[in-house]
DNA sequence: ACTTTTTCTTACCCACGGGTAACATATCGA
DNA sequence: TCGATATGTTACCCGTGGGTAAGAAAAAGT
């Protein structure tokens, strides 16, 4: 067979790999469609009030069809949760790849994390009850949560070491910051008058302004709308915006 | 059993009101016993995984006996929630009664609220899903939540007006603070190495230090509340990582 | 065209748990 | 002692919803 690699534009009709690949892709796309429908319903109504038939109905299929893609309801929940976890993980990876002081990294994390909390999969990270998961999956989830928490603490501790953050207890500081961020997932709603960017910008300032060693930046401008422009001072964070950070 | 009621000194043996009162008291005590057992189980395992038989079993009675005190499972949930709400309400009432700047009031609220989040009924405020309630009760709960949120905002706005708090958006600031506080109800555990007082003290500082207008000079020399005696100028943890056995 | 594999449907099972009915037993007032 | 009320028990109902079995209907492969 003529193996046709990643589909050159003029691929002849007889490429055996393409159907295979496209079939796998089609399957994955359907799987994700299930997750998108499920996460929305779970957030809307709560996991226990959502029936699998409901999820299926929204996809114009019937309940047993779902079992072609998932072993059961709790696995769907876990996969939704995982999607959120992956988003956070990739954010962290990216920040770790870049440089900057501990404070700078912390601010990047706060900004990106706040944005994630305004998405379905992001919110599922904090609104789903891990006790609904099979023990095996719950363990995975707990581990992921722990890694995220550890990252907050590491950035803070690092900031204290490099002098960008005033001494404090990293554990409690991380709890406070992560708590404020996680809570976004509970109150944010798309039609709520506050855009994710506004929230992320404001939280980045508010949650870190108290811990910076540098002289306090000038009073937050009273302007109600945050023009996404520059920061008043020359170098508040010293880094350009993380706007494109999250994909 | 024979709990002597606040008996007027020389009450003759035939006072019809006392038995009546004591009977009503006995009933109320049992009702509360149910709530205490229920809230514990709900927090431990999650509302949907707890059966009424389980609750009853813990009280050495059987399921239908519960229906002498409550109309149904969701009402038990609501009453648990209400207990927490009453705690918060009384805290707010007390703060309102006293004086002080907006910042001072806010700090009092943060401190007391943090402490409440470390109690069962307090945690139930943020860990129960209002969608499990009957619509009528859910409306009551939503209203109470709104009042609490409004209080945070009022203190902040008041602080901005009286000059004790630097200008900021009260809405978002309240979200950030309340979020950090509410999250305590999700991670706090009695045997976790952090006492409620420690948490309350630290959060009071951490969540408000950034917004105070007064000159900052840290090391929290003037810890606003709860003189804990021991720790002198330096705050407890400078930079010890993994604050393991902080006690 | 044919078989084979994947995908989806119809029809069903059944454990679970909230809620109720009917009955038993304290408890209280007289 | 005796009825009335409150409190609790045993036995049962039944809607719900996750999960499965068997087979139709599409695709894919040949």
Segment A128-142 mean pLDDT: 98
3-state secondary structure of A212: strand
What integer best gives the mean pLDDT of chain A?
84
pLDDT of residue A198 exceeding 90, the answer is: yes
CA-wise closest residue to A126 among A196, A193, A191, A188: A188
Asked if A48's CB is within 8 angstroms of B169's CB, the reply is no
Residues A131 and A79 in one domain: yes
Residues A40 and A79 in one domain: no
Q: Which phi and psi angles does B212 have, rounded to 5°?
A: -70, 145
Dist. CA A170–CA A168, nearest whole Å = 6
Residues A81 and A153 in one domain: yes
Chain B contact present for A59, CB below 8 A: no
Residues A194 and A90 in one domain: yes
Range of the domain at A21: 16-70
Chain A residues close to B131, C-beta within 8 Å = 45-46, 49
Contact B117, B181 (CB under 8 A): yes
B79 CA to D11 C1' distance (Å): 29
Residues B211 and B155 in one domain: yes
Q: Supply the pLDDT for residue A16.
A: 54
Residues A120 and A66 in one domain: no
Nearest to A171 among B129, B132, B243 (CB): B243
Residues A30 and A106 in one domain: no
Q: CA of B171, closest CA in chain A: separation in Å?
A: 10
Contact A83, A39 (CB under 8 A): yes
In a domain, B85, yes or no: yes
Chain A contact present for B168, CB below 8 A: yes
pLDDT of residue B12 exceeding 50, the answer is: no
* Token pair listed for A53: 């038939």
Segment B60-85 mean pLDDT: 98
Of A70, A88, A113, the one marking the end of a domain is A70
Chain A contact present for B123, CB below 8 A: no
* Token pair listed for B85: 């709400």
pLDDT of residue A162 exceeding 50, the answer is: yes
pLDDT of residue B95 exceeding 80, the answer is: yes
pLDDT of residue A231 exceeding 50, the answer is: no
Chain A residues close to B178, C-beta within 8 Å = 183
- With a pLDDT cut of 90, the percent of chain A lying above it is 73
Q: Supply the pLDDT for residue A19.
A: 58
Residues B61 and B98 in one domain: no
Q: Supply the pLDDT for residue A147.
A: 98
pLDDT of residue A99 exceeding 70, the answer is: yes
Q: Which residues 34 to 93 of B reach strand C, CB within 7 A? A: 49-53, 63-64, 67, 72-74
- With a pLDDT cut of 70, the percent of chain A lying above it is 78
Q: Supply the pLDDT for residue B162.
A: 96
Q: CA of B7, closest CA in chain A: separation in Å?
A: 49
Q: Supply the pLDDT for residue A205.
A: 95
B64 CA to C22 C1' distance (Å): 13
pLDDT of residue B231 exceeding 60, the answer is: no
Asked if A167's CB is within 8 angstroms of B238's CB, the reply is yes
Task: Give the list of residues 6+ apart from residue B46 with CB closer than 8 angstroms, or none.
Answer: A129, A131, A132
Q: Supply the pLDDT for residue A89.
A: 98
pLDDT of residue A83 exceeding 70, the answer is: yes
- With a pLDDT cut of 90, the percent of chain B lying above it is 73
When divided into structural domains, chain A yields a total of 2
pLDDT of residue B4 exceeding 70, the answer is: no
Q: Supply the pLDDT for residue B8.
A: 39
pLDDT of residue B153 exceeding 60, the answer is: yes
In a domain, A3, yes or no: no
Chain B residues close to A129, C-beta within 8 Å = 46
In a domain, A2, yes or no: no
In a domain, B152, yes or no: yes
Instruction: Count how many pairs of residues, chain A against chain B, have C-beta atoms within 8 Å.
Output: 113
Q: Which helix (H) or strand (E) holds A199?
A: helix A196-208
The reply to whether A56 Cβ lies less than 7 angstroms from strand C is yes
What integer best gives the mean pLDDT of chain B?
84
Residues B32 and B112 in one domain: no
List bases, strand C, within 7 Å of protein CB: 6-11, 16-22, 27-30
In a domain, A7, yes or no: no
Segment A28-35 mean pLDDT: 96
pLDDT of residue A11 exceeding 90, the answer is: no
Asked if A46's CB is within 8 angstroms of B243's CB, the reply is no
Categorize the per-residue pLDDT at B44 as very low, low, confident or very high, splitting at 50, 70 and 90. very high
Q: Check the CA dihedral B18-B22-B25-B27 and report its sign.
A: negative
Q: Supply the pLDDT for residue B19.
A: 57
Q: Supply the pLDDT for residue B139.
A: 98
Segment B168-187 mean pLDDT: 98
Segment A98-118 mean pLDDT: 97
Q: Supply the pLDDT for residue B76.
A: 98
User: Where is pLDDT greater, at B52 or A25?
Assistant: B52
User: Where is pLDDT greater, at A225 or A169?
Assistant: A169
Residues A57 and A82 in one domain: no
Categorize the per-residue pLDDT at B66 as very low, low, confident or very high, splitting at 50, 70 and 90. very high
Chain A contact present for B145, CB below 8 A: no
According to the 3-state scheme, what is the secondary structure of chain B? CCCCCCCCCCCCCCCCHHHHHHHHHHHHHHHHHHHHHHHHHHHHHCHHHCCHHHHHHHCCCCHHHHCCCCCCHHHHHHHHHHHHHHHHHHHHHHHHHCCCCHHHHHHHHHHHHHHHHCCHHHHHHHHCCHHHCCHHHHHHHHHHHHHHHHHHHHHHHHHHHHCCECCCCHHHHHHHHHHHHHHHHHHCCCCCCCCHHHHHHHHHHHHHCCCECCCCCCCCCCCCCCCCCCCCCCCCCCCCCCCCCCC
Closest chain A residue to the Cα of B205, Cα to Cα = A210
| Lowest mean pLDDT segment, chosen from A101-110, A203-212, A231-240 | A231-240
Asked if B207's CB is within 8 angstroms of A172's CB, the reply is no
pLDDT of residue A161 exceeding 70, the answer is: yes
Residues A57 and A130 in one domain: no
A18 CA to D28 C1' distance (Å): 12
Q: Supply the pLDDT for residue B26.
A: 81
- With a pLDDT cut of 70, the percent of chain B lying above it is 78
Residues B153 and B168 in one domain: yes
* Token pair listed for B4: 């002597």
Q: Supply the pLDDT for residue A247.
A: 32
Q: CA of B177, closest CA in chain A: separation in Å?
A: 7
Chain A residues close to B242, C-beta within 8 Å = 153, 171
Asked if B129's CB is within 8 angstroms of A171's CB, the reply is no
CA-wise closest residue to B105 among B40, B195, B177, B179: B177
A169, A188, A211, A213: best mutation site toward chain B, by most B Cβ within 10 Å?
Answer: A169
Categorize the per-residue pLDDT at B215 as very low, low, confident or very high, splitting at 50, 70 and 90. low
Q: CA of B58, closest CA in chain A: separation in Å?
A: 21
B171 CA to C30 C1' distance (Å): 63
Of B30, B50, B70, the one marking the end of a domain is B70
In a domain, B243, yes or no: no
Name the A residues in 184-203 with CB < 8 Å from any B CB. Answer: 184, 186-187, 194, 199, 202-203
Q: What contacts 24+ positions apart, CB below 8 Å, involve B92-96? A: B92/B148, B92/B151
Dist. CA B25–CA B27, nearest whole Å = 5
In a domain, A247, yes or no: no
Which CATH number does the domain housing residue A126 bear? 1.10.357.10
In a domain, A9, yes or no: no
Q: Supply the pLDDT for residue A197.
A: 97
Q: Supply the pLDDT for residue B101.
A: 97
> How buried is residue B159: exposed, middle or buried, by Cβ count under 10 Å (0-12/13-18/19+)?
buried
Dist. CA A179–CA A80, nearest whole Å = 21
């Amino acid at each position: 067979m003529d193996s046709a690699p990643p589909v050159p534009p003029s691929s002849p009709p007889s490429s055996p790999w393409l159907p295979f690949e496209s079939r796998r892709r089609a399957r994955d796309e359907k799987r994700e469609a299930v997750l998108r429908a499920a996460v929305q319903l779970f957030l809307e109504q709560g996991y226990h009030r959502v029936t699998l038939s409901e999820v299926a109905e929204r996809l114009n299929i019937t309940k047993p069809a779902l079992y072609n893609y998932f072993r059961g309801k709790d696995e769907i929940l876990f996969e939704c949760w995982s999607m959120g976890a992956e988003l956070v993980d990739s954010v962290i990876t990216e920040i770790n790849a870049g440089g900057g002081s501990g404070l700078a990294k912390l601010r990047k994390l706060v900004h990106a994390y706040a944005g994630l909390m305004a998405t379905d999969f992001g919110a599922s990270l904090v609104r789903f009850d891990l006790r609904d998961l099979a023990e095996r999956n719950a363990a995975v989830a707990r581990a992921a949560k722990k890694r995220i928490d550890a990252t907050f603490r590491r950035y803070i501790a690092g900031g204290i070491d490099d002098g960008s953050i005033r001494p404090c207890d990293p554990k409690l500081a991380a709890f406070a910051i992560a708590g404020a961020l996680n809570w976004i997932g509970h109150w944010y709603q798309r039609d709520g008058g506050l855009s994710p960017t506004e929230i992320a910008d404001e939280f980045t300032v508010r949650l870190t302004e108290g811990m910076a060693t540098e002289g306090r930046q000038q009073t937050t401008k009273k302007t109600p709308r945050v023009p996404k422009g520059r920061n008043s001072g020359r170098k508040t964070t010293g880094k350009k915006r993380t706007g494109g950070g999250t994909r």
